[in-house]
């Protein structure tokens, strides 16, 4: 049975100022035994974040619905500066792109995450965000950091 991630307790409180801080947190938390408090394994979370970071550099082949693209820019500052709330239901059209495979290993997820974070850190140009449109390179990175804070908060020590 699926966990309602809006109500999960015991999550870590995270705030990353840089991609390096995010990487450091992932290296530290995965250096020991970990578990996930939500519906995805730690490996799936890392794989999902890698997919998202790569897509912010490479772009995706779909756009958010017109009404989302219309109102999202009014919330841009919030998306870039405030914590994301858990419990977002991914639209079906996004699942083939952003859903992590169930059988990904922690090693695979961690390697994909490391590579994607290094790409994000080094990137000088980005494709438009499917909902927010054109963002500066720093805004793209801030969006990915907020996204990572939310998902990584579900990875906790296994003890």
Asked whether residue 128 is assigned to any structural domain, the reply reads yes
Each of the 159 residues of the chain gets a pLDDT tens digit; together they read: 788 888 999 999 999 999 999 999 999 999 999 999 999 999 999 999 999 999 999 988 778 888 888 998 899 999 999 999 898 776 677 666 677 888 999 999 999 999 999 999 999 999 888 889 899 999 999 999 999 999 999 999 998
Asked whether residue 62 is assigned to any structural domain, the reply reads yes
- Which pLDDT does position 10 carry in this prediction? 94
Asked whether residue 111 is assigned to any structural domain, the reply reads yes
- Which pLDDT does position 32 carry in this prediction? 94
Q: Which residue has the tokens 């438009």?
A: 128
Report phi then psi at 155, rounded to 5.
Answer: -95, 120
Q: Which residue has the tokens 């109500």?
A: 7
CB 57 within 8 A of CB 119: yes
**Across-strand partners of 133?**
129
Asked whether residue 105 is assigned to any structural domain, the reply reads yes
Asked whether residue 11 is assigned to any structural domain, the reply reads no
Asked whether residue 3 is assigned to any structural domain, the reply reads no
Calpha distance 75→131 (Å, rounded): 11
Q: What is the pTM of this model?
A: 0.92
**Structural domain tally of the chain?**
1
Asked whether residue 28 is assigned to any structural domain, the reply reads no
- Which pLDDT does position 63 carry in this prediction? 80
CB 27 within 8 A of CB 93: no
The range of the structural domain enclosing residue 153 comes to 33-85+92-157
Asked whether residue 107 is assigned to any structural domain, the reply reads yes
Please give the radius of gyration of the chain, using alpha carbons only, rounded to the nearest integer: 15
CB 24 within 8 A of CB 121: no
Q: Are strands 34-36 and 155-157 parallel, antiparallel or unpaired?
A: antiparallel
Calpha distance 131→60 (Å, rounded): 11
């Amino acid at each position: 049975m699926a966990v309602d991630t809006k109500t999960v307790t015991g999550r870590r409180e995270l705030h990353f100022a840089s991609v390096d801080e995010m990487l450091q947190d992932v290296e530290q938390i995965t250096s020991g035994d970990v578990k996930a408090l939500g519906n995805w394994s730690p490996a799936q979370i890392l794989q999902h974040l890698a997919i998202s970071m790569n897509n912010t550099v490479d772009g995706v082949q779909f756009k958010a619905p017109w009404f989302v693209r219309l109102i999202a820019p009014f919330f841009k500052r919030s998306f870039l500066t405030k914590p994301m709330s858990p419990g977002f239901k991914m639209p079906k059209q996004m699942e083939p792109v952003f859903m992590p495979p169930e059988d990904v290993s922690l090693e695979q997820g961690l390697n994909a995450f490391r590579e994607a974070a290094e790409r994000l850190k080094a990137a000088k140009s980005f494709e438009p965000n499917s909902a927010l449109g054109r963002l500066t390179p720093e805004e793209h990175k801030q969006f990915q950091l907020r996204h990572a804070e939310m998902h990584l908060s579900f990875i906790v020590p296994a003890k």
